[in-house]
Amino acid sequence: MVESGESLRELLLHLWHILPFALLTVLPVVLLGALLLRALRNGSLSSAMTVLVLVPVAAVVVGVLGISGFMFTTTLTTMLLICLLVTLVTVPLAVLLGRRIARRSVWEHEARERERAAEASRRELVAWISHDLRTPLAGIRAMAEALADGVVASPEEVSGYAHRIGSETHRLSTMVDDLFELSRITAGALRLTMSAVPLREVISDALAAQTPVAERKHVRVRTDAQVWPVVLGSDPELARIVYNLVSNAIRHTPPDGTVAVQVGVDGGDAVLSVDDSCGGIPETELTRVFDVAFRGTSARTPRPDEHGGGGLGLAIAKGLVEAHHGRIAARNHGPGCRFEVRLPLAAGHT
C-alpha cells in the first residue's frame, strides 16, 4: 500500500516536470492550426474540418516526440503507428462530414430564403387583396344604402344600380375562387384526374368565354395551330390555364391590339403560346410575373376603368402547369410578351 502511494507521487512529480516542456512543444502546433483555421474561414467547410482533426493528432505526435527526445523505442513507435491509423480514419470522415454539413447549411440557407420570399409574397397578397376587396365592397355598400334610402327612384336607375351590384358581386366571387384555387395549389391539396385531353376543345372553350371581353375592348384574338395535339391532363385545370393566360393577354393589350394564340408540338411536348401587345415587360420583372400578387409597372397595370384581377391569374396558371408536369415561361416578343406553356403529350399521340 505504501509502495503504491510512492509510485503515484513519483508519477505525479514526473508529470509536473514534463508538463511545461510538453506545453512548449505543443503550443506552436496549436497556434499554427489556429492560423490555418483563420486563413480558411472563407474556404470550404471540409478543409476546416480536416484541420480541426489534424491539429490534435499533430500536437500529440509532436509532444510525444519532444518529450521522448526522438528516442524511437518500441512504445514510441507503437504510439506513432496508432496516431497514423487515427489520422487515416478520421481525415476522410472529417471531409465527408464537412461536405455534409456544408450541404445542409446551404439547404437551410436556401430554405430560409424561400421562407422569407414566401412570407413577403403573403404580405403582398394580403395587401393587394385587401385593397381589391375594399373597392367593390365600398361600391356595393354605397349603392345598397342609396337604394335603401330611396335616393334612387326611377326604375332605370334602380336597374342600373342592381346591374352594377351584380357586376361587383361577380368580381368578388371571382377573386374568392382564385384565392381558393391558389390555396389548393400552395397547400398541395390539388388532385388531378389525368386523361387524354384534346387541346382544340380546351382552347375553343376558353376563347369563347373571353370573346365578349375582347369585343368590348376592341381587341382581336386569333388562333394559329400547326397541329392540334392531345395532352395528358385534367380538363378543368387545363381550361383554367388557357383562360387565365388569354384573360391576362386581353387585359394588357390596348384597344385595336391583337392577342395571338399559337399551338404546336415540339418533341414530346405540346406547346401553347399566348402573345399580347402590352409593350413588353422590363427584363428585371420577367422572373417575377408568376409571383403571387405581382402586377409590375404601369405598362402592365390595368387602367381604373378595367376590372383587373387580384394578381393571382398567372400564379395559378404556373401552379396548374407544374401540377401537369409541364413548364411555363414568359419573355418579350414582338410588340408585347409571349407566355409559353409546354405540356407532355398523351401516350400514343404525337
* Per-chain mean pLDDT for the chain: 79
Q: Residue 14: is it exposed, middle or buried by C-beta count within 10 angstroms (0-12/13-18/19+)? A: exposed
299: pLDDT strictly greater than 50: no
Q: What is the mean pLDDT of residues 23-51?
A: 73
User: Which neighbouring-strand residues pair with 269?
Assistant: 266, 344
Domains annotated for the chain, with CATH where assigned, are 2-108 (no CATH), 121-186 (1.10.287.130), 195-344 (3.30.565.10)
Q: What is the mean pLDDT of residues 235-244?
A: 91
pLDDT at 327: 93
pLDDT at 340: 94
Q: What is the mean pLDDT of residues 160-178?
A: 83
| Choice among 116-125, 204-213, 332-341 with the minimum mean pLDDT | 116-125
Question: pTM here?
Answer: 0.60
306: pLDDT strictly greater than 60: no
20: pLDDT strictly greater than 80: no
For the CA atoms of 225, 217, 135, 186, the dihedral, rounded to the nearest 10 degrees, stands at 0
pLDDT at 308: 47
Residues 247-285: pLDDT tens digits? 999 999 999 899 999 999 988 899 999 999 888 888 888
pLDDT at 304: 39
Q: What is the mean pLDDT of residues 36-58?
A: 72
